[in-house]
Structure 1
Amino acid sequence: MTTSSPIAPALLALDWGTSSLRAFLMQDSRILDTRQSAHGIQHLPAPGVAGYRQAFAELVGDWIDQWPQLPVVASGMVGSAQGWREAPYVRCPADIADLASQSVGVDSGMGPEILIAPGVLFDQANALPDVMRGEEIQIAGALLANPGWRQRACMLLPGTHSKWAQIEDGKIVRFTSYLTGELFSVLCRHSILGRLMPDAAVPADDPEAFALGLDTAARSGPGDLSHQIFGTRTLGLTGRLPPPALADYLSGLLIGHELVSGLATAASTGPLVMIGAPALCRRYADALARLQRPVDAMLDNTAPAGLWHLATAAGLVRS
């Protein structure tokens, strides 16, 4: 836990997910100080509202004591149906003004109200419905820092549930989710595939095996995915890939199928911008380069900037 900043902050921003809680003291969209705890919504110190209030107080209580009038905003799973208070989804097309106007407040238990951002829903009759919660704030942060992307861009957020979001005129107009990260973990840890892997769900950074998975995905036809997934096992049984390389093949295969699908809808939608953890973004960037679609920009954690943008749109701080 870090010490408080000597500069008076203008905002306390919370990125509150399933497994962790991160807090940022901010001024002029800049981070003055940051803290983190393991008290995500599935790991609270106590059940229900009491657990949320305790987690909040333990992490930032001294900040609130020092600056009791500090506005507080939050995003992520804290606003889900399983969170502190549900902030219902906003339908596409949605921008930061829509998110701010439909945010909900909750009593922190220490005085200030916490403004919780809603998620975003894409629901059209001719397509599967889709949802995001937390990624919309990361996208808002990217657009705040790079206004040129507001006109038209594709935002790729790789992760457990990867998101491909199309931006037009500053709004999220449509998006698609891919279960890539979770599917990889489940297959490695809870299927027969992992029995041949020396350390299931941990790629050994074998570029040739990863490229084989990508190339297999790139030349696949309809319905090939489950057969190609089973190939993870048979490539090991026949000795065509050593056991440490199997996770990399599977990773390349699943990422490859995601990219083939995502690029089919993002090919003519302006810059391709990636937001996420640097190591995972680099893995995706390497895959995109092999598929001859290099990424135009890679950003790390844009949630703090997005939360500042939310607070500005809600009138809690000045731009």
Structure 2
Amino acid sequence: MNAPATPQQPPALLALDWGTSNLRAFLLAADGTPLAERGSARGIRQLAQPGPAGFEQALAEVAGDWLRDQPGLPMVACGMVGSAQGWQEARYVACPADVATLAGQAVVIRTAHGPLHVAPGLIDRPAVGGSQPPDVMRGEEIQIAGALALQPALAERACLLLPGTHAKWAQVQQGRVTGFRTFMTGELYALLRRHSLLGQTMPAEGEAGTGSDEAAFNAGLARAGQAGPGDLAHQLFGTRTLGLTGQLTPQGQADYLSGLLIGHELVAGLAAIADDHHGTPPLALIGDPALLARYAGALRALDHAPAALLGNTAPQGLHQFAQAAGLLTQGLAA
């Protein structure tokens, strides 16, 4: 006999991951169970009209029916929607900070569908008199909260790596982000491939029949591991000369460049998080599965196997944020 179907839990939260190019909406139950998910191209730079009206329209397009069916549904958001170019600015919160800190500094936007609680980003300021510039993140702090909810063991002490256009290396202790570094690896790769001499002998991105060349990627990774201070600019030119001399195919040049840039990021990132007294903390990866697989393979090649690979943890993080803000008390009590 078939087991009786489990009734779906009622919606208790609308969670929005609102970035520069895209908007993702998640309908969540009171315990965080995902009930539905939608995507939209209405990122903050892709609105149909400027200003608050454009944000209102984007919200209505992606979740208007959910909000009509569930009047008074709590709403939370993270990402660039809270930037200075977003709907309303949610100023950065200084490290160390946890999800309760973020909830305590949330900005509430009065929308046509009710209040929208927007998470602030994080800023890591250098010590007074230090030579290091500050570092910032917006959106990743919520993904980190979600990762800690999914993997509670990481909360004690870990480094969370979020690869992407601007890769983040965040150090966590006792559930709080204590500091982080940003590496512009993805953006550098895109700029060099699309707008530099190096990219002229590479195939167009996404071109049919151009599978990845793992040997070339590993060669770039190994080259980065041999680098000394200031070697990156010289090593980059090797991407072109290895193609000119027939040692790399056009696709191989693209993968060699990727390995070189990721390799330099990993070498620098691992050195930065090393602790002479306690060793390198567990390293967990968050993000797109394909990109995580490439980073995980590179880390293993450097004898630093990741402790966990996590996908998009924004829904879980937004649920934690809503709980910390007291928005789910009524739903959980029911």
TM-score (norm 1): 0.96
Larger mean Cα displacement after TM superposition, 237-246 or 37-46? 237-246
Quick check: 1:117 aligned with 2:119? yes
d(CA) in 2 for partners of 1:55, 1:282:
33
Q: Deviations for 1:182-238, whole angstroms, at most 9, x for unmatched residues?
A: 100000000011111122587741111001100110010011000111111111111
d(CA) in 1 for partners of 2:58, 2:118:
16
SS of the aligned residue for 1:315 comes to coil
Query: In 2, are the aligned partners of 1:122 and 1:175 still within 8 Å (CA)?
Result: yes
Quick check: 1:213 aligned with 2:220? yes
What displacement does 1:269 show?
A: 4.3
Quick check: 1:260 aligned with 2:262? no
Match of 2:256 in 1: 249
Query: In 2, are the aligned partners of 1:19 and 1:38 still within 8 Å (CA)?
Result: yes
Larger mean Cα displacement after TM superposition, 47-56 or 203-212? 203-212
d(CA) in 1 for partners of 2:257, 2:151:
35
Query: In 2, are the aligned partners of 1:189 and 1:201 still within 8 Å (CA)?
Result: no
What displacement does 1:53 show?
A: 0.2
SS of the aligned residue for 2:237 comes to helix
Query: In 2, are the aligned partners of 1:24 and 1:34 still within 8 Å (CA)?
Result: yes
Match of 1:153 in 2: 158
Query: In 1, are the aligned partners of 2:19 and 2:43 still within 8 Å (CA)?
Result: yes
Q: Deviations for 1:254-313, whole angstroms, at most 9, x for unmatched residues?
A: 000000001112233421100000000000001001111111100001000000000000
Show structure 1 runs of 5+ residues with no match. none
The residue identity in structure 2 corresponding to 1:276 is: G
Match of 1:8 in 2: 10
Match of 2:307 in 1: 296
After superposing on structure 2, the runs of 4+ consecutive aligned residues of structure 1 that deviate more than 4 Å are: 200-203
Q: Deviations for 1:52-101, whole angstroms, at most 9, x for unmatched residues?
A: 00000111111111111110000000000100000000000010011000
Query: In 2, are the aligned partners of 1:201 and 1:247 still within 8 Å (CA)?
Result: no
Quick check: 1:63 aligned with 2:70? no
d(CA) in 2 for partners of 1:226, 1:200:
23
Q: Deviations for 1:134-153, whole angstroms, at most 9, x for unmatched residues?
A: 00000000111222111100
Match of 1:278 in 2: 289
d(CA) in 2 for partners of 1:243, 1:26:
45
Match of 1:227 in 2: 234
Match of 1:192 in 2: 197
Q: Name the count of aligned residue pairs.
A: 314
Q: Deviations for 1:85-123, whole angstroms, at most 9, x for unmatched residues?
A: 00000000010011000010112223x110000000001
SS of the aligned residue for 1:69 comes to coil
The residue identity in structure 1 corresponding to 2:126 is: Q
Query: In 2, are the aligned partners of 1:96 and 1:313 still within 8 Å (CA)?
Result: yes
SS of the aligned residue for 1:73 comes to strand
Percent of residue pairs identical: 57
Query: In 1, are the aligned partners of 2:108 and 2:117 still within 8 Å (CA)?
Result: yes
d(CA) in 1 for partners of 2:248, 2:239:
9
Match 1:53 to one of 42, 45, 56: 56
SS of the aligned residue for 2:212 comes to coil
Query: In 1, are the aligned partners of 2:19 and 2:81 still within 8 Å (CA)?
Result: yes
Q: Deviations for 1:237-264, whole angstroms, at most 9, x for unmatched residues?
A: 1112122210000000000000000111
Taking the TM superposition and a 5 Å limit, the aligned residue runs for 1:134-173 are 134-173=139-178
SS of the aligned residue for 1:270 comes to coil
Query: In 1, are the aligned partners of 2:160 and 2:170 still within 8 Å (CA)?
Result: yes
Cα RMSD over matched residues?
A: 1.4
Show structure 2 runs of 5+ residues with no match. 1-6
Larger mean Cα displacement after TM superposition, 121-130 or 95-104? 121-130
Match 1:313 to one of 324, 327, 330: 324
